[in-house]
Chains A and B, each alone.
Chain A
């Protein structure tokens, strides 16, 4: 049973560029959440997708957007990258989140130069 997968593993982008990160949830899971983890900090909630809609959003600007596909996989898009966007981006999947535990993927390390 495959766990949560994310791609790519690492990414280097230049300030002002755009980036797309991808996540495939654990088998049987229908909810995907995205978190940003800056160095030395705890993960911060970006947004959550359920039934292909954004259901909740954390305190992140509109430069951060996402999508969920019919197979429950998800993308995180960040436009107009800033140096401060450099972080580990974690995807978590769950079944009917809020009731069951969330399982995290290995993350995508984004470096903005």
Chain B
């Protein structure tokens, strides 16, 4: 069965602090995709990143970085030097070969609040 766990329900930090959002996933497939989405108060889910299971190379995009570790089934997301505009709910999601045509399984999300 597919499952995504985001154990951190809420995180609060002060601007310029670094923050890491945890994501642990479960799947029996060897081919799968992992995603992070951002959901600001407006409600629209904003795509941040997609990684496939064969690419464990960490990725950096500006202040965002992602650490993918198959050994621990984790796909953690770090925001460096956080800003107030980073305040949102962040979702980790999984899509595997068992879910043909890309059904996404989401975690429950982590509410990040960045204080000025």
The minimal Cβ–Cβ distance linking B56 to chain A, given in whole angstroms, is: 19
| Interface contact B106-A107, CB-CB below 8 Å | no
Partner of B102, one of A43, A97, A105, A109: A97
In the complex, A97 Cα to B106 Cα: how many Å?
A: 16
Contacts of B108 in A (CB 8 A): 40-42
In the complex, A91 Cα to B102 Cα: how many Å?
A: 14
Interface code B85-116, partner A: CB below 8 Å = 1, 0 otherwise?
Answer: 00000010101010111111111110000000
A-B interface contact total, Cβ < 8 Å:
70
Partner of B44, one of A33, A99, A104: A104
Interface presence of B50 (CB below 8 A): yes
Secondary structure dominating the interface of B: loop
| Interface contact A107-B50, CB-CB below 8 Å | no
| Interface contact A104-B100, CB-CB below 8 Å | no
Given contacts A101-B35, A107-B43, contact A43 B100 (CB under 8 A): no
| Interface contact B102-A99, CB-CB below 8 Å | yes
| Interface contact B102-A94, CB-CB below 8 Å | yes
Spell out A's residues near B (CB within 8 Å): 31, 33, 35, 40-45, 48, 50, 55-56, 58, 88, 90, 92, 94, 96-107, 109
Question: Apart from A88-B43, A106-B44, what 18 extra A-B contacts exist at CB < 8 Å?
Answer: A41-B108, A41-B109, A43-B104, A43-B106, A45-B103, A45-B105, A90-B45, A92-B104, A98-B101, A98-B102, A99-B102, A100-B102, A101-B35, A101-B47, A102-B47, A102-B104, A103-B47, A104-B37
Spell out B's residues near A (CB within 8 Å): 4, 35, 37, 42-47, 50, 91, 93, 95, 97, 99-109
